[in-house]
C-alpha cells in the first residue's frame, strides 16, 4: 500500500514538474523573442537616424546636377507610352457663336488737292495823278487800257457781255477812247465805260422803271454823252453781270432784235504795265502847270519825235 501510494505521489509530482518545465520553456522563448524584436527595432531606429543626419549634411553641400543617361529613342518612346495613361475621349467643346460686331465705318478724309503752281498776274495799282514841283501830272487811261489793267473777273465778265451783245443780228461795236458802244442799225443799244476802276453798263432804258427793283441803277441822263443811254448800272460783282445781261435782253426785246448762233470769241487781254501802255498810246499824260488852268497832253509820239 505504501509502495503504491508512493508511486502515485511520484507520478503526480512528475506530471506537475513536466508541466511547469514546459511552461518555463515557453516563457523563456517568449522573452527571447521579445528581446530580439526590441533589438531589431532599436537597430532600425538607429539606421534611420543615421541616414537622416547623413542626408542633411549632403543637402547642405552643392552637388553637381546628374545628367540622365541618354536612352535609345525606342526605349524612351516606350517609357513615355507606358507612363502616359490612356486619356478618356471627351467631347470637344464647340465655342458659342457670338453675334458679329458691326464695325463703325471709318470716315475717309477727303483727299487734299495739291495746289497747282500758277503764275500770278500782276495787279495794276491805279495811278491817276502825280504831283511834282511846278505842276501836276495826270494819267488819262483809255477804255482799252482799263480792260488790260483790270483783274480777271472784270475781263471774263467783259468777254461774256460782249459775246452776248454781238450775238444779236446787225449789232456792231466800236471802241473809242473812253467807251465801247454797241449799235443796232445805227442806234445805241448798250455802252461800256469805266467810272474809276469799275466798269459800268449804259442802256436806253428809263431808270425810273427800276427804282424799286433788284437792279440798283442810276440816272445819268443829265450827262450829254449819255442822253441816248440814261440808265447806268455798275458791274461790281458776278451777280451784277448776270443782271446786266437780263437788262440788255429787255432792250433787245423792245427793239425786236433777233438772236443768232454766233460762235463766242475770247476777248481776254493780258496785263501790261504803265510804261508799255504809254508807249502804245493807250495812256496819255496830262500835265497841268501850277497856277494855270491849261492842260498840256504829252504822248509817246511826242517823246519819239524828240529823240
Residue 208 counted as domain residue:
yes
Dihedral sign computed on CA atoms, order 52, 53, 59, 65: negative
Mean pLDDT of 159-166: 98
Residue 262 counted as domain residue:
yes
- Do 196 and 276 have their domain in common? no
Grid cell for residue 14 = 512528475
- Do 176 and 207 have their domain in common? yes
- Do 190 and 233 have their domain in common? yes
- Do 201 and 302 have their domain in common? no
CA dihedral 272, 274, 279, 281 (to 10 degrees): 90
Q: How far is CA 254 from the centre of its chain?
A: 55
At a CB cut-off of 8 Å and minimum separation 6, what does 145 contact? 277, 282, 283
- Do 301 and 235 have their domain in common? no
pTM for this entry: 0.56
Provide the mean pLDDT of the chain.
78
Q: Are 264 and 163 in contact (CB under 8 A)?
A: yes
- Do 157 and 245 have their domain in common? yes
- Do 239 and 290 have their domain in common? no
Paired with 288 in beta bridges are 136, 295
**Residue from 255, 261, 303 nearest 283 by CA:** 303
**Residue from 117, 165, 116, 119 nearest 271 by CA:** 119
For residue 171, how many other CB atoms are within 10 A of its CB? Answer: 21
CATH label of the domain that carries residue 154: 3.90.1150
Number of domains in the chain: 2
- Do 245 and 158 have their domain in common? yes
pLDDT attached to residue 271: 97
Mean pLDDT of 47-58: 69
**Residue from 194, 118, 185, 126 nearest 158 by CA:** 194
- Do 137 and 276 have their domain in common? yes
Domain that holds residue 298: 124-143+271-307
> 6-15: per-residue pLDDT in tens?
656 656 655 5
Residue 235 counted as domain residue:
yes
pLDDT score of 136 more than 50: yes
Rounded Cα gap, residues 284 and 295, in angstroms:
12
By mean pLDDT, which of 55-64, 137-146, 196-205, 217-226 is the weakest?
55-64
Amino acid at each position: 500500500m505504501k509502495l503504491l501510494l508512493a508511486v502515485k505521489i511520484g507520478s503526480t509530482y512528475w506530471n506537475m514538474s513536466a508541466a511547469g518545465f514546459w511552461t518555463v520553456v515557453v516563457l523563456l522563448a517568449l522573452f527571447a523573442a521579445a528581446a530580439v524584436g526590441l533589438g531589431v527595432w532599436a537597430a532600425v531606429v538607429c539606421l534611420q537616424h543615421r541616414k537622416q543626419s547623413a542626408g542633411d549634411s549632403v543637402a547642405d553641400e552643392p552637388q553637381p546636377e546628374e545628367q540622365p543617361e541618354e536612352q535609345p529613342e525606342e526605349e524612351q518612346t516606350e517609357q513615355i507610352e507606358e507612363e502616359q495613361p490612356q486619356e478618356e475621349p471627351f467631347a470637344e467643346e464647340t465655342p458659342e457663336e457670338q453675334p458679329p460686331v458691326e464695325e463703325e465705318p471709318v470716315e475717309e478724309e477727303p483727299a487734299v488737292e495739291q495746289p497747282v503752281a500758277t503764275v500770278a498776274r500782276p495787279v495794276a495799282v491805279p495811278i491817276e495823278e502825280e504831283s511834282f514841283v511846278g505842276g501836276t501830272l495826270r494819267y488819262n487811261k483809255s477804255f482799252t487800257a482799263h480792260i488790260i489793267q483790270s483783274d480777271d473777273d472784270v475781263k471774263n465778265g467783259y468777254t461774256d457781255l460782249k459775246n452776248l451783245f454781238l450775238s444779236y443780228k446787225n449789232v456792231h461795236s466800236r471802241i473809242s477812247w473812253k467807251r465801247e458802244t454797241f449799235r443796232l442799225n445805227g442806234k445805241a443799244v448798250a455802252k461800256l465805260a469805266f467810272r474809276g476802276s469799275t466798269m459800268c453798263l449804259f442802256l436806253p432804258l428809263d431808270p425810273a422803271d427800276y427804282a424799286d427793283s433788284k437792279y440798283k441803277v442810276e440816272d445819268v441822263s443829265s450827262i450829254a454823252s449819255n442822253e441816248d443811254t440814261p440808265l447806268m448800272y455798275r458791274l461790281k460783282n458776278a451777280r451784277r453781270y448776270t443782271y446786266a445781261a437780263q437788262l440788255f435782253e429787255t432792250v433787245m426785246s423792245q427793239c425786236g432784235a433777233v438772236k443768232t448762233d454766233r460762235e463766242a470769241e475770247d476777248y481776254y487781254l493780258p496785263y501790261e504795265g504803265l510804261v508799255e501802255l504809254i508807249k502804245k498810246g493807250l495812256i496819255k499824260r496830262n500835265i497841268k502847270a501850277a497856277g494855270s488852268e491849261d492842260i498840256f497832253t504829252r504822248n509817246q509820239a511826242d517823246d519819239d519825235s524828240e529823240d
